[in-house]
């Protein structure tokens, strides 16, 4: 499904919890024409590739009352459960209001563009030229260009997030700016925008890029590097580092091996069985311990 996102959400109390902001954006895109998202947390995670714990925390926040919400409906909750007996499946509270608002806005924009094209056709120039935003082109060239764009849309399908006529790269930038980890120094957002545009042109989807930033933000929080100089500049993340290729999983440190006491024969035999070593007839405990240590070391390298 397609859902229109309004930039005013970045100026609301919703933006104070970034997990809620990201999750709400996904629910809007995934909802049906009535604002219903009849999916589990896990299904949303699989569809968006956003970590499950982010979705779970976001849903928890969206279900809470919010006295600072613009709308008093449902005591400021953004979503409500469809059924009380299950912990999944929601209805977006103000969906119908914003859908009507979006429809009216899109109609006004469509009317404006239609009138602009008519005026341009009457004058025999490109609509861009009529609006003072492009070089003069013959109408045949304009028609050919529009046909090529239509062909691209048919091959690749509609964008997964931004609305009709919205620049995908700029839309992605709007989504990731609030959640990208803070750092010392500049992020170089203009350069990041160029790299985002190149990534989209190379075939990546808007949701893949947003999900990658979400994973990186979680990684930085877990490693406790957010706010410092170890955070990649946004331009580097989307550029030479190609951060969307990384899983950004935090590797757990291997637990230290606790060896049995030197005289603990049963403990050494138990450890030996774990690595497939049995004592031989007449073998001293010290020699058996040496063989077990070697086996454990080899298994650790395997």
- pLDDT band (50, 70, 90) for residue 140: very low
Q: Express each pLDDT in 214-265 by its tens digit.
A: 999 988 888 888 888 889 999 999 998 888 888 888 766 555 567 788 778 8
Containing 236, the helix (H) or strand (E) segment is: helix 234-238
Q: Over 80: is that where the pLDDT of 174 sits?
A: yes
Q: Express each pLDDT in 193-207 by its tens digit.
A: 999 999 999 888 888
| 3-state helix/strand/coil string of 150-180 | HHHHHHHCCCCCCCCCCCHHHHHHHHHCCCC
In the block, residue with structure tokens 């490109």: 126
Q: Which two tokens stand for residue 300?
A: 């650790």
- The pLDDT assigned to 8 comes to 67
- The pLDDT assigned to 240 comes to 87
Q: Which two tokens stand for residue 109?
A: 């924009």
Confirm if 62 and 77 have CB atoms less than 8 A apart.
yes
CA atoms of 237 and 280, how far apart (whole Å): 57
Mean predicted confidence (pLDDT) in 271-300:
84
- The pLDDT assigned to 129 comes to 47
Q: Over 60: is that where the pLDDT of 30 sits?
A: yes
Q: Which two tokens stand for residue 93?
A: 């509270």
CA atoms of 302 and 295, how far apart (whole Å): 11
Confirm if 69 and 20 have CB atoms less than 8 A apart.
no
- The three-class DSSP label of residue 36 is strand
Q: Over 70: is that where the pLDDT of 2 sits?
A: no
Mean predicted confidence (pLDDT) in 264-272:
86
Torsional class of 276: left (φ above 0), alpha (ψ -120 to 50), beta (otherwise): left
Among 14-23, 102-111, 171-180, which range has the highest average pLDDT? 171-180
Of residues 119 and 135, which shows the higher confidence score?
119
């Amino acid at each position: 499904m397609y859902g229109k996102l309004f930039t005013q959400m970045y100026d609301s109390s919703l933006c104070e919890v970034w997990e809620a902001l990201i999750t709400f954006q996904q629910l809007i895109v995934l909802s049906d024409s009535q604002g219903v998202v009849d999916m589990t947390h896990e299904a949303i995670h699989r569809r968006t590739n956003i970590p499950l714990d982010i979705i779970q925390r976001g849903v928890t926040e969206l279900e809470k009352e919010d006295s600072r919400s613009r709308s008093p409906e449902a005591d400021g909750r953004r979503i409500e459960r469809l059924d009380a007996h299950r912990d999944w499946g929601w209805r977006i509270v103000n969906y119908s209001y914003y859908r009507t608002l979006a429809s009216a806005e899109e109609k006004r924009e469509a009317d404006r563009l239609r009138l602009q094209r008519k005026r341009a056709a009457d004058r025999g120039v490109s609509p861009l030229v009529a609006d003072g935003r492009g070089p003069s082109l013959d109408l045949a060239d304009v028609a050919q260009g529009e046909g090529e764009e239509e062909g691209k849309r048919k091959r690749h399908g509609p964008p997964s997030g931004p609305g009709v006529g919205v620049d995908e790269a700029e839309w992605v930038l709007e989504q990731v700016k609030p959640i990208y980890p803070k750092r010392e120094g500049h992020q170089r957002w203009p350069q990041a925008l160029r790299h985002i545009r190149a990534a989209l042109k190379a075939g990546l989807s808007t949701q893949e890029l947003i999900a990658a930033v979400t994973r990186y933000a979680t990684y930085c929080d877990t490693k406790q590097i957010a706010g410092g100089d170890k955070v990649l500049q946004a331009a580097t993340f989307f550029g030479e580092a190609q951060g969307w290729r990384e899983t950004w999983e935090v590797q757990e440190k291997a637990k230290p091996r606790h060896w049995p006491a030197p005289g603990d024969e049963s403990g050494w035999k138990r450890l030996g069985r774990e690595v497939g070593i049995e004592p031989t007839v007449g073998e001293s405990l010290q020699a058996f311990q040496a063989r077990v240590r070697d086996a454990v070391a080899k298994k650790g390298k395997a």
